[in-house]
Structure 1
Amino acid sequence: MDVLALCILLILLCFQWTVAPAAAEISWTYTGLVGQSEWSQYFPDCGGTSQSPVDVVTTQTKYDPSLTPLTPLGYDQHGYQPFTLFNNGHTAVIMLPEWMGLSGLPWFFTAVQMHLHWGSGGPSHGGSEHTTNGLSADAELHVVHYNSELYPNMSTAMTQRNGLAVLGILIVTGEETNVAFNNILHYLSRVRHADQRVSIPAFDVQSLLPEDLGRYYRYNGSLTTPPCYQSVIWTLFHERVRISKAQLLKMETILYSSKAAEADRMLLQDNYRETQPLNHRVIFTSFTAESGKELSSGLSLSGRFVCFSSAGEVTAIVIGVMCGCVGLAVIVRFVVKTIRFFTLLRRETVAVNSSTSSWDVLPSTRPAPMPRMDEPHKKQEVDLSMTSEGEKKEEPSLPPQTEP
């Protein structure tokens, strides 16, 4: 019985040894026989509970004041050593020199490489891996670093917790050409097929990043391609980067996922993974809702991109404009009335100065004097008294009548 059990155990071990290398060497794709839905069958970590990318629901993020701005180190110190650009059949990868790094995290991270993800339908058809409120941008750039404080190299770090740090930059389209991205796009024609590589002139990598590195989303996740190790500290910048429509079209149509020797050429398109469940993870933000309301000027986002202006904000703006208009109308009315008053007053003053009596110009508010009916009678009595018996008595004069 023990011999039988030992034989079964040996058979299982032999089966595992033969299957494991096959799984490790299997060729995965975004669609097809070994597409995204089948990744977890061949790469167990792809079915984990902390996978990337994710949808960032802005109303469910949590502000963390301890998240400080990130500082790229050596990104602009490219020197004379060229970069290596190659097509790995899944994306275009640019290898980065080891003197480039990233500070602003709990550990120091050394740069390794950067690559792109895009769609196939041009602007407004999606292509980024991360989404915001269920909506995406047209493409996405990832800059990959490994934890060089804790681990000796990329191969070891990528399998360990907090081993990698990846910067995510969402890309949108506009009318103007992004000169910095031409440092990559101009050389894609030299690596059109899988496994092709070429040396390209070094350039300032920081020119590819958004200007504002202080506002971002932070969460713990994974690689977005097999083997999907859950070892990544993700930083997704709030500010988008813009490229022209022609640049996006070149990115989507120039590369092949097939090798040069293969007869059937397959365009390298839609190389983005669908968003994964958060599974009770928390996405932190380095900025408050108030400081993050404004977006990059003139964003032209895809069909899956979100408009950050809520109904409440629009209502507040409308009310503010209405109050401003009412206040302006009150001020104008007051100014007009004041001008009219001083104009009338000036006219009246001129008229008064040019007349001998103010009562000739200004309407009198005094009531008309009442007729004095007793004056004829009194006058008659005075006349009679003056003719009687030759006595000339003087009648006491009446006091002068005053105006009411």
Structure 2
Amino acid sequence: MDSLGLCILLMVLCFQWTTAPAAEEITWTYTGLVGQTEWSEYFPDCAGNAQSPVEVVTTQTKYDPSLLPLTPLGYSQHGNKPFAMYNNGHTAVIELPEWMGLGGLPWLYTAVQMHLHWGSGGPSHGGGEHTVNEMSADAELHVVHYNSELYPNMSKAMTQSDGLAVLGILIVTGEETNLAFNNILNYLGRIRHADQKVFIPAFDVQTLLPEDLGRYFRYNGSLTTPPCHQSVTWTLFNERIQISPAQLLKLETILYSSKAEDPDRMLLQDNYRTTQPLNHRVVFASFSAESGRELTSGEVTAIVIGVMCGCVGLAVIIRFIVKTIRFFTLLHRESVVLGRPSQ
């Protein structure tokens, strides 16, 4: 190759090196040019065989009696120092102090942050990431921890197979306002745009969790956003948390994925990843499928109606039997009277 050709080749390679963006510089989204269907092109781990979230089929889970109730450490010891909350363009992130952690796992995990995922259509239109028996939630809270026994920080741990532990809390709508979630929702208006940050009063993080921490699903998976590292031990609680329709509406409509200086505002909605194939992974349960199955409101109504109908039917049968016995008793007495000889 002559000197001119070599020069041209070097110029082309230099151009490619300087123009190809690094993965961490890519602005990903849930839809659009770098939407979740294209994540794997820029973040190879997103095409892995142990991705999250997943669909949990309770009858296909494996009961593991060694799965003990989780122990939140320091969740209620919030102190006086405020929490930092910011809009990263994908969700609202609340940073957690390092004295918060998680027990009940093979290693000690230190809390890092928590964040939310939600939809756009209101109640019963989806927004949570994990699904259970094909039922989706309206939103989902994730509390992220890193393995502080084996790794010095979150950045190092997130690339290791045993590096992270994430709690998944499914959120549905109910009639009453969830006062605990107001500790977050009441301040979202101060971080409406991407890159905005606010300090909020510290609060008891454990009030965001289900009361029953002993019934959950466990599996090995990944981060649900790029770079999708397959480093997460997932704990998905069986009990769902309720918020009011007004609280869900605020969550779905108050934040923007765009920056304050951007000319076009873009609502931050539908920030949830679709469920990924299990690929022969096993989802373990801390309770048996029979005892862990929750009845839907329709099933409860059907059972109540069935019991009521059964009681009514039983009452009718008993009344019929009593009347029949009385009839034959009276008939027997009349036959005895008629059969007596006259005096």
TM-score (norm 2): 0.87
Change over 3 Å in CA distance of 1:162–1:317 after alignment to 2: farther
Letter matched to residue 123 of structure 1: P
Return the alpha-carbon distance in structure 2 between the equivalents of residues 235 and 12 of structure 1.
48
Structure 1 residue 288: deviation in Å? 0.9
- Corresponding residue for residue 156 of structure 2: 156
1:3-402 maps to which residues of 2 (within 5 A)?
18=18, 22-294=22-294, 309=299, 318=306, 328=315
Structure 1 residue 132: deviation in Å? 1.5
Letter matched to residue 235 of structure 2: T
Question: Secondary structure of the equivalent of 2:173?
Answer: strand
- The sequence identity of aligned pairs, in percent, is 73
Describe the superposition over 1:60-115 as per-residue Cα deviations: whole angstroms up to 9, x where unpaired.
Answer: 11111111111111111101010001000000000000111111111111110000
Letter matched to residue 115 of structure 1: H
Structure 1 residue 322: deviation in Å? 6.9
Return the alpha-carbon distance in structure 1 between the equivalents of residues 115 and 32 of structure 2.
22
- Corresponding residue for residue 389 of structure 1: none
TM-score (norm 1): 0.74
| Aligned residues of 2:58 and 2:293 also touching (Cα < 8 A) | no
Question: Secondary structure of the equivalent of 1:290?
Answer: helix
- Corresponding residue for residue 304 of structure 1: none
Structure 1 residue 22: deviation in Å? 2.6
Question: Secondary structure of the equivalent of 1:180?
Answer: helix
Change over 3 Å in CA distance of 1:112–1:28 after alignment to 2: same
Question: Secondary structure of the equivalent of 2:169?
Answer: strand
Return the alpha-carbon distance in structure 2 between the equivalents of residues 20 and 84 of structure 1.
34
Question: Secondary structure of the equivalent of 1:37?
Answer: coil
Name the count of aligned residue pairs. Answer: 337
Return the alpha-carbon distance in structure 1 between the equivalents of residues 326 and 75 of structure 2.
65
Q: Which moved more, 1:59-68 or 1:25-34?
A: 59-68
Question: Secondary structure of the equivalent of 1:97?
Answer: coil
Return the alpha-carbon distance in structure 2 between the equivalents of residues 12 and 324 of structure 1.
84
Is there any run of 5+ residues in structure 1 with no aligned partner, and where? 300-306, 349-361, 370-404
Describe the superposition over 1:244-268 as per-residue Cα deviations: whole angstroms up to 9, x where unpaired.
Answer: 0000000000000000111111000
Change over 3 Å in CA distance of 1:203–1:342 after alignment to 2: farther
Return the alpha-carbon distance in structure 1 between the equivalents of residues 237 and 122 of structure 2.
22
Structure 1 residue 289: deviation in Å? 2.1
Return the alpha-carbon distance in structure 1 between the equivalents of residues 88 and 305 of structure 2.
50
Describe the superposition over 1:249-296 as per-residue Cα deviations: whole angstroms up to 9, x where unpaired.
Answer: 00000000000111111000000001111111111111112321335x
Return the alpha-carbon distance in structure 2 between the equivalents of residues 49 and 293 of structure 1.
28
Which one has a bigger Cα radius of gyration?
A: 1
Letter matched to residue 183 of structure 2: N
Change over 3 Å in CA distance of 1:15–1:24 after alignment to 2: farther
* Structure showing greater relative contact order (alpha-carbon pairs closer than 8 Å, 6 or more residues apart): 2
Question: Secondary structure of the equivalent of 1:291?
Answer: helix
Question: Secondary structure of the equivalent of 1:117?
Answer: strand
Change over 3 Å in CA distance of 1:40–1:328 after alignment to 2: same
Return the alpha-carbon distance in structure 2 between the equivalents of residues 154 and 17 of structure 1.
29
Return the alpha-carbon distance in structure 2 between the equivalents of residues 254 and 39 of structure 1.
26
Is there any run of 5+ residues in structure 2 with no aligned partner, and where? none
Describe the superposition over 1:341-375 as per-residue Cα deviations: whole angstroms up to 9, x where unpaired.
Answer: 999xxxx9xxxxxxxxxxxxx95966579xxxxxx
Return the alpha-carbon distance in structure 1 between the equivalents of residues 338 and 266 of structure 2.
102
Return the alpha-carbon distance in structure 1 between the equivalents of residues 262 and 218 of structure 2.
41
Letter matched to residue 128 of structure 2: S
